[in-house]
């Protein structure tokens, strides 16, 4: 049908203008800017009811274009036409489509400095802090800020440990009492800054003297030198690190909050949160690749604020039994999740406008950055004698966005091992984020249970629109998780298996036939220390969370054609699995392939 959906109407009959809000509330569908009421056609749709219910209340132009439609469909759509959507420009316009844009986060204007009522306020600011991260600290912690500024230079020259001992050993407090006294004067934002600083400095102290690589004209590894790692931290580093971690109720480790949530500043303090207006406060290397890698996560967290506001609105709608608002907010959540997967995640593979090179090469991530942020076992004294700490490196699994979505939608963790891994990661998450998660998990019921329990009480088309909107959100969660998997395949799996070639580091991620989550080598783990069964199980659990819209019995009962087909099939005689002459065996190892090819011919072949 292309872009032409003709509607033969009398010239004097005015065309109705329909707002997008009305489209959402009534479950109508927009195609090429034209609004259709498909509610009476759902059961008769040749492609199945699920396809129409999945696009109810939104623009379905893309879905419509990707499916071939007959001339009969054109005539049918004329009968279902309602009017023109106000929010969509006329399809006759010659203006090119605009590229997808970031929103800049929920709050374009944020408090600039550290004096805020609370550092974290999930309802208002999502999972980013309420103010731009703190950049300076009072004495004696100010020396750490200066060390972090020269950290990339010192590590690449193998001088970080020596300089750190000279500059910090006699300055930082190294007893429990002194650490506690120095921490008492810090605000919450300053404590977060200190936790991040110590994470960078302690990991650089442990791992700084590492393999140094050089990248030539092709993606090639040239080891310039190798220096030993440490598994022990001195008291003048471990005491402050453990002390500030206990104050924040987190593990003594550079976590996701330390390298992402509290590790950025805006070049224009009043401008939006977007790549061109962000820079990292702290880094291990001087590479643009590291900067871009963490910037992408900051953008995801910023745009994820819209997800959180939708979750709050959905909770409120269920609490008030407001089905109209619930349907609308599910569509809003789907759009927010779509933006994360389709707009934010691809930023990771953006290219430089100057030379078209990747802003973040997977090669450099794996061999230059990942050694600093991998999981560690380290002995240190936190005030109760020296003990060994087993610590997970910063990981996207420490982001609270998808766990929050899972909790409210009702996506279960069916694996006990996965539940333990998720619980372990939460020890690295700000306590306010954990409290928000607990509130969602302890809600009277999830969205899935809410929708399922009202199948018999709601009007049929309302319930199917609600279930379809829920399933659309599940599809967006799966979209995000599969795209994330493709990044893992590109950044970790292929480098760890020696899969880099001259062009391997310069292509966008592609899911290969032999690189599914289930086929992962057991030795490959993420920066958080978990195997990639973690990702596979998340994907499987998300797929299982869908609400079945039509059972087989319901489809046969509703559709006369299927009833007739079922009756015909029921009258067929039972066929034995093995033919009398042994030529066919549908249940055998060859399936529907003949056992003896010569039996197909009148004469022997050989």
Strand-pair category, 386-391 with 376-381: antiparallel
Paired strand residues for 222: 214
Contact 261, 275 (CB under 8 A): no
Give the Cα separation of 290 and 372 in Å (integer): 11
Contact 407, 437 (CB under 8 A): yes
Does the annotation flag 356 for ligand binding? no
Peptide linkage before 140 cis (omega within 30 of 0): yes
Give the Cα separation of 476 and 480 in Å (integer): 6
φ, ψ at 401 (rounded to 5°): -65, -60
Cβ-proximal residues to 339 (8 Å cutoff; 6+ apart), any chain: 100, 103, 303, 306
CA 312 to centroid of chain Cα atoms: 19
366: Cα within 13 Å, side-chain hemisphere = 25
* Closest CA relative to residue 469, chosen from 46, 187, 159, 50: 50
DSSP 8-state assignment for residue 580: T
Written as six digits, the tokens of 103 are 């929103």
Give the position of tokens 């090179």. Answer: 357
φ, ψ at 50 (rounded to 5°): -55, -35
Contact 238, 382 (CB under 8 A): yes
Give the Cα separation of 71 and 73 in Å (integer): 5
Give the Cα separation of 364 and 21 in Å (integer): 47
Angle subtended by helix axes 460-488 and 323-339, to nearest 10: 20
Give the Cα separation of 106 and 125 in Å (integer): 7
Contact 47, 18 (CB under 8 A): no
Sign, CA dihedral 116-430-405-523, equals positive
446-455 contacts, C-beta under 8 A, 24 or more apart: 446/407, 446/408, 446/409, 446/410, 447/314, 447/318, 447/330, 447/408, 447/409, 447/410, 448/409, 448/410, 448/545, 448/547, 449/410, 450/318, 450/326, 451/547, 452/547, 454/323
Q: Which residues are annotated as a binding site for heme b?
A: 484
Q: Which residues are annotated as a binding site?
A: 484
């Amino acid at each position: 049908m292309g872009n032409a959906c003709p509607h033969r109407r009398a010239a004097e009959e005015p065309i109705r203008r329909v707002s997008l809000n009305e489209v959402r509330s009534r479950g109508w569908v927009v195609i090429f800017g034209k609004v259709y009421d498909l509610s009476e056609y759902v059961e008769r749709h040749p492609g199945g009811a699920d396809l129409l219910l999945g696009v109810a209340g939104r623009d379905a132009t893309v879905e419509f274009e990707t499916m071939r439609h007959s001339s009969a469909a054109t005539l049918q759509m004329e009968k279902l036409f309602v009017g023109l959507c106000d929010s969509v420009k006329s399809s006759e316009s010659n203006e090119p489509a605009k590229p997808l844009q970031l929103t800049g986060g929920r709050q374009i204007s944020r408090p600039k400095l550290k004096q805020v009522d609370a550092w974290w306020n999930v309802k208002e600011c999502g999972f980013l802090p309420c103010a731009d991260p703190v950049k300076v600290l009072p004495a004696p912690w100010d020396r750490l800020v200066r060390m972090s500024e020269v950290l990339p230079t010192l590590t690449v020259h193998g001088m970080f440990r020596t300089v750190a001992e000279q500059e910090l050993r006699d300055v930082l407090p190294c007893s429990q009492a002194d650490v506690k006294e120095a921490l008492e004067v810090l605000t919450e934002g300053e404590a977060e800054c200190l936790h991040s600083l110590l994470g960078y400095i302690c990991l650089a102290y442990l791992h700084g003297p590492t393999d140094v690589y050089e990248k030539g004209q092709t993606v090639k590894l040239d080891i310039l030198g190798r220096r030993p790692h440490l598994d022990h931290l001195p008291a003048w580093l471990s005491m402050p690190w453990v002390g500030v971690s206990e104050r924040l109720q987190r593990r003594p480790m550079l976590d996701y909050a330390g390298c992402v949530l509290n590790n950025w500043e805006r070049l224009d303090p009043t401008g939006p949160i977007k790549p061109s207006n962000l820079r990292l406060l702290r880094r291990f290397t001087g590479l643009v690749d590291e900067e871009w890698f963490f910037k992408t996560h900051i953008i995801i967290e910023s745009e994820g604020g819209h997800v959180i506001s939708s979750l709050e609105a959905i909770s409120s709608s269920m609490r008030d039994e407001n089905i109209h608002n619930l349907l609308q907010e599910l569509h809003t959540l789907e759009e927010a999740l779509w933006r994360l997967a389709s707009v934010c995640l691809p930023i990771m593979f953006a290219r430089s406008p100057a030379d078209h090179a990747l802003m973040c090469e997977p090669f450099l991530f794996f061999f230059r950055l990942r050694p600093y942020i991998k999981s560690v076992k380290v002995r240190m004294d936190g005030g109760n004698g020296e003990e060994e700490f087993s610590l997970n490196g910063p990981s996207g699994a420490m982001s609270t966005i998808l766990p929050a979505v899972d909790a409210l939608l009702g996506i279960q963790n069916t694996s006990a091992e996965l539940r333990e891994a998720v619980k372990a990661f939460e020890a690295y998450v700000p306590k306010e984020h954990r409290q928000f998660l607990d509130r969602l998990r302890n809600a009277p019921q999830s969205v899935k249970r809410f929708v399922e329990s009202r199948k018999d009480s709601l009007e049929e088309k309302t319930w199917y629109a609600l279930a379809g909107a829920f399933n659309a959100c599940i599809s967006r969660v799966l979209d995000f998780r599969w795209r994330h998997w493709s990044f893992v395949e590109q950044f970790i799996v292929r480098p760890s298996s020696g899969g880099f070639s001259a062009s391997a580091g310069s292509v966008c991620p592609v899911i290969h036939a032999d690189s599914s989550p289930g086929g992962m080598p057991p030795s490959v783990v993420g920066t958080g220390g978990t195997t990639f069964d973690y990702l596979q199980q998340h994907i499987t659990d998300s797929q299982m969370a869908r609400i079945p819209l039509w059972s087989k019995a319901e489809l046969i009962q509703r559709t006369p054609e299927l009833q007739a087909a079922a009756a015909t099939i029921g009258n067929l005689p039972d066929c034995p699995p093995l033919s009398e002459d042994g030529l066919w065996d549908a249940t055998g190892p060859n399936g529907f392939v003949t056992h003896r090819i010569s039996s197909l011919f009148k004469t022997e072949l050989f």
